[in-house]
Chains A and B, each alone.
Chain A
Amino acid sequence: MPFVNWLKRRLVVIAGLLTLAYLLLPNVIVTVFSFNKPKGRFNYEWQQFSTDAWKDPCGVADMCGSLSISLQIAVWATVGATLLGTMISFALVRYRFRARGAVNSLIFLPMAMPEVVMAASLLTLFLNMGAQLGFYTILIAHIMFCLSFVVTAVKARVMSMDPRLEEAARDLYAGPLQTFLRVTLPIAAPGIAAGALLSFALSFDDFIITNFNAGSTVTFPMFVWGSAQRGTPVQINVIGTAMFLAAVLLVLASMVITNRRNKQKA
């Protein structure tokens, strides 16, 4: 049975390719439909090829404004959550203090809590405090739910770090600050970067918590949701595709830089 043997040898590859296709197909659809020229207001059926939307991405009223708000919130939420989360991780791994165990488990509560419940409770909290809903309430909420993810990523990294490395740095004339900057931080960096990327992605496309606590502010996911009721402009696909391409380009760029650095050294 040559076919069965052929299949046996390539089973892993075939399974891998199928899984990859499963992952990437939605992205392909988004991209393809960004070149559509729909009849009517809904972009659900393929009509004909057109680059109209790409030529005028901000042609839909308010969309680019909402995109800008989302990007700003995502950047600040990433900065805030990464800073706080990294400090929490170091505190949890390096120091023994009262209620350390409790903090260790409480920090994961936002991950476990159903998002919609969290969103409603946050709104209650903000209203009772008399806070003005808008950019800052969204930012506070985003930093809160991103924190758990940053802590998860950074803590794993810090825990696996050999404490002798910092001792070696101190032994080699590095003061506390130098030790942190030259040894601790570079070694923890992959964990911190993973936490930051995760935060950005989570914050950028969060809808539920944002929708409850946004007041009159409209973020990009809220805009998409709102327009989906009345018709979906092709520009949404353009923005989606652009974000996807930006991510791919970033990954490629980092690979090229690492390769070049290794070659220089060799």
Chain B
Amino acid sequence: MKTTPDNSGDVRLSGISKTYDNGFTAVHPLDLTVPEGSFFALLGASGCGKTTTLRMIAGLEDPSSGTVRLGDQDVTHLPPYKRPVNTVFQSYALFPHLDIFENVAFGLRRRGIKSVKKQVEEMLELVQLGEQARKKPHQLSGGQQQRVAVARALINHPKVLLLDEPLGALDLKLRRQMQLELKRIQTEVGITFVHVTHDQEEAMTMADTVAVMNGGRVEQLGAPTDLYENPRTTFVANFLGTSNLIEAEVDTVNGDDIVLKAGGGKLVLPEARCSARTTAGGKVLVGIRPEKIALTHADDAGTIPEGRNRITGKIADASFIGVSTQYVIDTPVCDEFAVYVQNVERDGRLVPGADVVLHWSPAHTFGLDAAQDIDAGIEEEAAA
């Protein structure tokens, strides 16, 4: 297939939604643009509408409203077999009655290509399965089946490759390996990848851009670092990694900084990092990631530099996990404050029961609208 002209690998969803016959709305109208050649992840807990969105791009689900475009071509009403898009299915969906060679050749043969041998063999080499060509799918391991599924889709040179939880059935070690493998293949072939996953680490490792979905809507979209450092909703803050969220009251707005009152102390939050509207006396949720916090024993409180946000507390629990120690701190503002400390120089006094001061740079603080569920996204991650 010849190289595609500009932007034909873009995926543009406008106002797309899906409501089933039973009245359940899986996807609320959403707009999404995936630039050509990017690795895009749709991240969310099960039932958040991410798979439905993917299936609407593939043509396996008819949208209730809105349009799907690939580049400038409107494909909304094209059946799946006429779209230049291929899917790697969850649990692979390899044809059990065909051998590996025929599975990979399937798409080429359906398009009337006669001499498929060379292409199929090259593709099998790419995924390191040249030896297995004449085996049936059930004779392969999970990781090998996964690679067949990728080869079967990629051989058609689709404009967009859709991946529906492709690594869900693999064990942890193999999953890490396949993440890197998929990332390598994507860089090599330069095709747009749209990847659906519930694993936040997987999404952050692989994708250039991540869209976090919740309840049929996109909560936030951005680069992994951007999402992690500047979450704009409690769902994103809790679903991507761990966040400590404290309810605080706005005291004064002082230039670029907002001064907040929480549990008798004062905290500083840069206004640029606050996604909520702030008025004096209003409420704001203050967030801080556990690894941004430093822990100092109460006896050494004087050594903490000026200008850092600080909270006092008592260590409730400490778990040593090798590279770091994870503490749970009981503080006046929150009784389960999580703090991760790298094990560089361990302070022997930091044991459960010790009085400590938690402190961090105000630049690492983020502010969220207080009018939302402070625990959103916590259980979802545990369930997923």
Residues of A within 8 A of B (CB): 162, 164-165, 167-175, 178, 182-183, 186-187, 189, 265-266
Report B-chain residues with C-beta under 8 Å of the C-beta of A186: 97
Residue of B nearest to A174 (CB): B110
Any chain A CB within 8 A of the CB of B114?
no
Q: Within the complex, which residue of B81, B95, B96, B106 is in contact with A175, where a contact is CB–CB below 8 Å?
A: B81
Are B106 and A172 touching (Cβ within 8 A)?
Answer: yes
Q: Mark B74-93, 1 if CB is under 8 A from A, else 0.
A: 00000111100111011101
Beyond the given A168-B89, A173-B156, please list 13 additional residue pairs across the A-B interface where CB-CB is below 8 A: A165-B93, A167-B93, A170-B79, A170-B81, A171-B60, A172-B86, A172-B110, A172-B153, A173-B110, A174-B81, A174-B106, A189-B97, A265-B134
Shortest A97–chain B CB gap in Å is: 14
Given the contacts A165-B93, A265-B134, A171 and B58 also touching, CB distance less than 8 Å: yes
**Cα of A169 to Cα of B86 in the assembled complex, Å:** 10
Any chain A CB within 8 A of the CB of B152?
yes
Are B93 and A162 touching (Cβ within 8 A)?
Answer: yes
Q: Within the complex, which residue of A173, A187, A189 is in contact with B81, where a contact is CB–CB below 8 Å?
A: A173
Q: Within the complex, which residue of A169, A173, A187 is in contact with B96, where a contact is CB–CB below 8 Å?
A: A187
Report A-chain residues with C-beta under 8 Å of the C-beta of B110: 172-174, 178, 182
Question: Inter-chain contact count A-B, CB under 8 Å?
Answer: 66
Residue of A nearest to B105 (CB): A172
Any chain A CB within 8 A of the CB of B111?
yes
Task: Name the residue in A170, A178, A182, A187 with the highest tally of chain B Cβ atoms < 10 Å from its Cβ.
Answer: A170
Report B-chain residues with C-beta under 8 Å of the C-beta of A167: 60, 80, 87, 89, 93
Q: Within the complex, which residue of A162, A164, A171 is in contact with B80, where a contact is CB–CB below 8 Å?
A: A171
Shortest A171–chain B CB gap in Å is: 5
Residues of B within 8 A of A (CB): 58-60, 79-82, 85-87, 89-91, 93-97, 99, 106-107, 110-111, 134, 152-153, 156
Shortest A12–chain B CB gap in Å is: 27
Report B-chain residues with C-beta under 8 Å of the C-beta of A183: 95
Given the contacts A186-B97, A187-B96, A265-B99, A171 and B91 also touching, CB distance less than 8 Å: no
Are A172 and B156 touching (Cβ within 8 A)?
Answer: yes
Report A-chain residues with C-beta under 8 Å of the C-beta of B60: 167, 170-171
Report A-chain residues with C-beta under 8 Å of the C-beta of B107: 172-173
**Cα of A265 to Cα of B153 in the assembled complex, Å:** 23
Q: Within the complex, which residue of A164, A174, A187 is in contact with B89, where a contact is CB–CB below 8 Å?
A: A164
Are B134 and A266 touching (Cβ within 8 A)?
Answer: yes
**Cα of A172 to Cα of B106 in the assembled complex, Å:** 7
Are B93 and A172 touching (Cβ within 8 A)?
Answer: no
Report B-chain residues with C-beta under 8 Å of the C-beta of A174: 81, 106, 110
**Cα of A266 to Cα of B95 in the assembled complex, Å:** 19
Given the contacts A187-B97, A265-B99, A172 and B91 also touching, CB distance less than 8 Å: no
- Of all A-B residue pairs in the complex, the 9 with the closest CB atoms, nearest first, are A265-B134, A172-B107, A164-B93, A173-B110, A168-B93, A170-B80, A186-B97, A174-B110, A171-B87
Report B-chain residues with C-beta under 8 Å of the C-beta of A169: 95, 106
Are B97 and A171 touching (Cβ within 8 A)?
Answer: no
Are A172 and B97 touching (Cβ within 8 A)?
Answer: no
Residue of A nearest to B164 (CB): A164
16 contacts between A and B (CB under 8 A): A165-B95, A168-B87, A168-B94, A170-B59, A170-B80, A171-B80, A171-B86, A171-B153, A172-B156, A173-B82, A173-B110, A173-B111, A175-B79, A182-B106, A187-B96, A189-B97
Are B96 and A171 touching (Cβ within 8 A)?
Answer: no
**Cα of A255 to Cα of B154 in the assembled complex, Å:** 36
